[in-house]
Amino acid sequence: MKTKATLIIGAAVVAMYSCDTKNYTEQDRVEVTTNLENYVDSVENAVQMVPVHNWSMIDERYDSLDSRAEKVYNDLEVEDDNLEMIEERYELAVKNGKAEADNFDRTAKMHMENVETWWDKTSSDIEKGTKRTADDIEEATQESMTWLEQNFDNLSDDYKKKYEDITMNLNKD
């Protein structure tokens, strides 16, 4: 009787263990891979469209999707070559995105310095009573003002404030 009880308990443990080892299906693997690929696609597209991103949020979401995918792949005991290729694409997109953001920041700084230099040079005339308007802006400075206006939403808060201050003073009647 004792042997029979031991065998039944042993069979139950083996049955439970075999049920628990495969929590995921092939459909789950396809789904997590697709989700991860779609996310990397969206990061690649976003990097091309907008120069400034919250990289910590982007990395956090990627890590979450990647972690889930790794669990499924490990549970199914499947090679993760797909995940490695997706990770390489993601890392390249992030690298390119950060390079674009740095380039955007350098360009914004150059345009802001151009406008500030012009403003510092001409604001003393305003104090003396000589009126300056947007029509009086030199071509290179106007080019910088236009660039700053077109990219206003992506500028740092500091550059936004400086730009607003200069344009407000420039447009006073």
Mean pLDDT of the chain: 81
What's the pLDDT at 143? Answer: 86
The pLDDT > 90 percentage for the chain reads 35
What's the pLDDT at 165? Answer: 86
As for how many domains the chain has, the answer is: 1
- 131 located within any domain: yes
Task: Write the single-letter amino acid at 2.
Answer: K
Burial of 160 (C-beta count, 10 Å sphere; 0-12/13-18/19+): middle
- 153 located within any domain: yes
Q: Given phi > 0 = left and psi -120 to 50 = alpha, else beta, which region is 172? A: beta
pLDDT digit string, tens, across residues 46-88: 888 887 788 899 999 999 999 999 999 999 888 888 899 999 9
- 4 located within any domain: no
Is residue 153 over pLDDT 70?
yes
Q: Are 108 and 148 in contact (CB under 8 A)?
A: yes
Residues 6+ apart with CB under 8 A from 45: none
Assign 159 to helix, strand or coil: helix
What's the pLDDT at 4? Answer: 53
Region 90-97: what's the mean pLDDT? 93
* Segments forming the whole domain that contains residue 36: 23-170
Is residue 7 over pLDDT 90?
no
State CA 143 to chain mean position distance: 28
- 14 located within any domain: no
Confidence grade of residue 129 (pLDDT, cut at 50, 70, 90): very low
Which of 108, 103, 111 has its CA nearest to residue 48? Answer: 103
- 147 located within any domain: yes
pTM more than 0.75: no
pLDDT digit string, tens, across residues 33-46: 999 999 999 999 98
- 130 located within any domain: yes
- 13 located within any domain: no
- 6 located within any domain: no
